[in-house]
Every structure is written in structure tokens, then in C-alpha cells.
Structure 1
Amino acid sequence: MFEKILIVCVGNICRSPTAEFLLKRELPHKQIASAGLHAMVKDIDGKPVGDEMNAQARETAEKHGLVCGTHEAQQLTSELARKYDLILVMEKRHRDEIAKRFPEALAKTMLFGQWDNARDIPDPYKKSDEVFAQIYKLIEHNTMLWANKLKR
């Protein structure tokens, strides 16, 4: 049913790429990508920034045995939203923003923490290694919940 899955957070450098790599590991037959509502894809002069996955997020994931490939942040656009069957967001406010910016995508947008009491996954950006580790565990737990639902 859901073959193309897009995971969205704010900057597309911490939570969504981590979830993308985890979900790809669990559902290798699905097309999975990530994007940010406010990803920095161009600098002040309009040149591509090419933000990679946040170093703390990558290091935390790799400490837990997750292989993280290359990643370049991308901005969520209406075209990107149309391309995917399911959009998973990290926080309720992200779903609200999608409703305002891309109302046609709202019906296929759900929380990444949907099956965990509709919980938000907080942003660890610029926080301690301990916070990154806690958020990783939360993302990993919710990845498994989604993987179980999507394998059916």
C-alpha cells in the first residue's frame, strides 16, 4: 500500500536522516527518503550548501550499529510531497505546517511516533551526546513500530 515513504523534520540533518537509514534497513524493498521543512540547501549567495547528516547524529547512529550512507539535506516541496504515498513527521507542529503549506498532502501525513501514543520526537540539534542517544533510541523504537505496520 505504502511503497514510497518520506520522513520529514526541520533541517533534514538529524532526525529524518536517522529515521530514513533505519527504515531503509528494515524495509529494503520500499522507496524511502527524507526532507526538511526548513532545510538549508542554499547559502546567502544562492550556492548549494549540501548539508550532510549532522556529525553527532551520524556518530550516535553508528555507535548503535546503523550504517549511514551519504546524505544531502533537501527542502520539502509540493512536488516532493506529491511523489510519496506516506509522509512521516517528527512533531505535531510539522503536520500543522504541512497542512498550511501543502494541504493536498495532509491526508497522507502522519506522526513518526503515531504508534507510540502519537508522541513527538524532539529535536536533538545542538544538544548533548546523551540527548542524541535518547532521541536515537526513540527513533529506533518508532522505526520498528512502523516497520511492523508496513511489512503487512
Structure 2
Amino acid sequence: MTKILMVCLGNICRSPLAEGILKSKLPHDKFVVDSAGTAHYHIGNPPDKRSITVAKKYGIDISNLKGRQFGVHDFDEFDLIYVMDESNYKNVLSLARNDLDRTKVKFILNEIYPNQNFDVPDPYYGEIPEFENVFKMLDEACSNIANTLL
């Protein structure tokens, strides 16, 4: 079973969207997909209503997800860790214990733009169009991830 973790800052906007999108593209009996945030702001909270709305528009239900914080134990639990931006990347790597941990961490948009380390913009202070834009980026990246893994 391959386990994949999506990581953003608060685990209420980008990473739950990425989790829901990738889950929808992979067989549940062979893959586990989860999400976490590097900050503790929203532990136990559901995703942002705008993320839920945009996901639902595309037939994906993320309303039951709950925010949690990334921890060192996640390096042991997950095979791949996709981060949404440079800040997340630095925060996750700061907890890495060794080279194996570090090799698991990847920028999600590198799945579309190899080795560019582009950020998925944080839509938190935006409106539905910003969330739609993020959904489309993540959908393309997750399609590429799924195609590589399947």
C-alpha cells in the first residue's frame, strides 16, 4: 500500500483539496491519501467552506476531513509527501531526520512543471475564483501523480 500526504500551512484550503482530488483518482485498496498542515491553527477543524464548495462542484466530498498538524512521525507513515509551497517545504524539511525523510518531500507543482518548485497560491484571503484556480492546478498535478503511480 502506497501512502501519500499532502501538506499546506493550515490544512483547510489547499491540502484537503489535494487529498480529495488524489483520492478520487486512485484505487482505495492500493493507496492511502491524507493531508496535514505545518501550523497548528486549525487542528480538528473541517476544510474551509470555499474548498468544500469547489470540491463539491467537481463531485468530490471533503467535508468530513479534519485539520491536523504535520509531525516527525509522518515521515515513517508516508511514502510521498507533497507540499504546496516553499514555506511548507522548509517547515517539513526542518523536521526531517535523515536523507530518506528528505527524499520523500516534493513540491506538488513539480508534477506539472518539473524542477521549478512553483508555489500553489494560498487562496485563503481570496474568493471562489482563487479556490477554483487552485483546484485546477491541483487537479492537473494529481492527474500526473496518479498516472505515474498506476
TM-score norm. by structure 2 comes to 0.87
3-state SS of 1:98 partner:
helix
One-letter amino acid matched to 2:131: F
One-letter amino acid matched to 1:115: E
Aligned positions of 1:129-144 closer than 5 A:
129-144=128-143
3-state SS of 2:91 partner:
helix
Please state how far the C-alpha of 1:69 moved relative to its aligned partner: 4.6
Unaligned runs of 5+ in 2: none
Please state how far the C-alpha of 1:37 moved relative to its aligned partner: 0.2
Unaligned runs of 5+ in 1: 42-48
Task: Identify the range of structure 1 (93-102 vs 58-67) with the bigger mean alpha-carbon deviation.
Answer: 93-102
* CA distance in structure 2 between the partners assigned to 1:78 and 1:6 by the alignment: 13
TM-score norm. by structure 1 comes to 0.86
Aligned positions of 1:2-151 closer than 5 A:
3-28=2-27, 29-41=30-42, 50-104=44-98, 105-117=101-113, 118=116, 119-151=118-150
3-state SS of 1:74 partner:
coil
8 Å Cα contact 1:115-1:145 kept in structure 2: yes
RMSD of Structure 2 on Structure 1 (CA): 1.6
**Identity of counterpart residues, as a percentage?**
29
Runs of 4+ in 1 over 3 A off after TM superposition: none
